[in-house]
Structure 1
Amino acid sequence: MYIEVLLRKMKIHHLARQRSILNKFLKEIRDKNIQKDSMRFRRNIERIGEILGYELSKNLQYESKQVLTPLGVKPVEMLAENIVLCSILRAGLPLHNGLLNYFDDAENAFISAYRHHPDNEVDFEIVVEYFAAPPIDNKTLLLIDPMLATGKSLVAVYEGIKKYGTPKEIHIVSVIGSLDGIDYIKNHFPVNTSLWIADIDNNLNQKGYILPGLGDAGDLAFGEKM
C-alpha cells in the first residue's frame, strides 16, 4: 500500500515511502552515469508511470460487467470513468506513455509550458502557448508533469486548461517533486485534486531546480534544447 497524507485540500500519494521495485527505477533515473543512456531513462520514466497509474486506478470508480468466456460467464469490475491524459510537453511524454499503457482507452491532451527568463538566469515566468485536447467537462483529468519543482508550471497549465472546461476531478501525476512545489500547488488547485508522486525531495536551488533531483528531465529524455 502507498502512504497517504492529507495536506489542506489535496491528498498526496507518496509512493516511495513504501519499499517496492519503484525505488530501483527512481535510483536509475537519478544516477548521473546511468541517466546518460537516454533510452533507458525514458523507459524508466515510463515504468514509473505504469506504477503510478496502477496505484491511481485503485481510487477510481468501477462498475460490474460480464464477460463471456468459452466455458461460461464471469462478472468483472471495469473502470467506469471517462479519463483524459494531459501531458506537459516535452518532458511529460515518457510518463504519458507509461500511463497510456494502462489507461489505453483514455483520451489524450497535450499542452506546452516552458520557463521564460526575460531578464536574468534566476527569475522566470511560465509561458503556455499550445493546448490540444478533447472536451474535458465532467471527465477525470490526469495532469502529467514528471518534475514538480516550483509548481508554477502546473498552476499556469491549470489556469490555461480551465478556459476549456471543468473536469469532474483532477489527478496530478509526477515523478519527483519538492516540498515547496507541493505546498504551492495545493493552494491553487480545487478541492477535488489528488497528487500521485513517486518521490519528494526537500529543497530547490536558486534556479528553481529540485535538489538532489535528477537534472532536466526533458534534456535527459530527448537531448539538450537550444
Structure 2
Amino acid sequence: MHIHNLSQQNSVLNAFISEIRDISVQKDRMRFRRNIERIGEVLGYEMSKNLNYKPISIETPLGTSSMNVIENEIVLCSILRAGVPLHNGLLNYFDTAENAFISAYRHHEKNSESFEIIVEYLACPNLEGKTLILADPMLATGQSMVSTFEALKPFGIPKEIHLVSVIGAQEGVDYVDRHFDKTTHLWVATVDENLNDKGYIIPGLGDAGDLSYGEKLQH
C-alpha cells in the first residue's frame, strides 16, 4: 500500500488538526465540521496529484487554451455519519464525482470491549473500472474500512482505490495495509501511535460523529 501521511511535512493542515483536537474549540460544532471539511479539501488536493489526466482545449472570449484535466471516473464513498463533513470537503474538489453512502458502526455484545462492524445501509453506483475514494475520518482499528469495502464488492471492481482519513492509529494503518491490495493509496492527515482498550485513537480527538452532530443515545 502507498501510505501518504501529510503530517510528515509542515503545512497549514497543522492548524486544522490542532483545532479539531482542542477540547475548547471542539465545543463549536460548526467549526469542528468546517475543519474536517477543510482537511478533506487538503487531502483531496494532494490526492489529485496522483490521478490521471487528459488534455482538453477550452475556448475563451479571446482565444483557445489547452489544459490537462482529470480523466478518472470517481466514486466518493463515505461512512455515515461521521464521514459526512469529510465527504463534503472531498466533494468540493471532485465535484463531478458519483457518490455512495454506507452506514457502519461498532456493535459491542453485552457492552464488552470487543466488537464487530455492522453494515446496515448502502447506496452505491456501479464501481466497475472506476476510481473509488473511501472516506472515514477516524482510522482506528481499520475494521470499518475493510468491512465497508467488502460490502461494496458486489457493485464492481474499481480500477483504483484511495482511502482517506483525518486521524489514523498506527494499528489501523497496519491493518488496512494487510487487507488492501498493494496498489491502494492511503491519504491521512496525521497518525497517532496508540488505541485505548475500547479501540479509540489516543490522543485522537474523541468521537468525530458526536462532535459534528451531537451525542447519540446508545442502544
Question: TM-score of the superposition, structure 1-length normalised?
Answer: 0.95
Report the Cα offset of residue 111 of structure 1: 0.5
Report the Cα offset of residue 80 of structure 1: 0.5
Task: Tell me, in whole angstroms, the C-alpha distance in 2 between the residues paired with 1:163 and 1:179.
Answer: 29
Corresponding residue number in structure 1 for 2:138: 147
Report the Cα offset of residue 38 of structure 1: 0.4
Corresponding residue number in structure 2 for 1:80: 71
Percent identical among aligned pairs is 64
Task: Tell me, in whole angstroms, the C-alpha distance in 2 between the residues paired with 1:41 and 1:57.
Answer: 24
Task: Tell me, in whole angstroms, the C-alpha distance in 2 between the residues paired with 1:137 and 1:91.
Answer: 26
Paired letter, 1:80:
E
Gaps of 5+ in 1: 1-9
Is the counterpart of residue 126 in structure 1 residue 117 in structure 2? Answer: yes
Corresponding residue number in structure 1 for 2:149: 158
Q: CA RMSD in A?
A: 0.7
Tell me which of 92, 115, 139 is aligned to 2:83. 92
Counterpart contact for 2:105–2:118, Cα < 8 Å = yes
Task: Tell me, in whole angstroms, the C-alpha distance in 2 between the residues paired with 1:155 and 1:68.
Answer: 45
Report the Cα offset of residue 173 of structure 1: 0.4
Following TM superposition, the consecutive aligned residue runs of length 4 or more in structure 1 with deviations greater than 4 angstroms are none
Tell me which of 87, 99, 105 is aligned to 1:108. 99
Tell me which of 164, 169, 178 is aligned to 1:187. 178
Report the Cα offset of residue 23 of structure 1: 0.3
Paired letter, 1:186:
D
Corresponding residue number in structure 2 for 1:5: none
User: Aligned pair count?
Assistant: 217
Tell me which of 178, 181, 194 is aligned to 1:203. 194
Tell me which of 50, 65, 68 is aligned to 1:59. 50
Give the stretch that moved more between structures: 117-126 or 129-138: 117-126
Corresponding residue number in structure 2 for 1:40: 31
CA deviation profile, 1:28-52 (whole Å, cap 9, x unmatched): 0000110110000000000000000
Gaps of 5+ in 2: none
Secondary structure of 2:109's aligned partner = coil
Secondary structure of 2:145's aligned partner = helix
Report the Cα offset of residue 141 of structure 1: 0.2
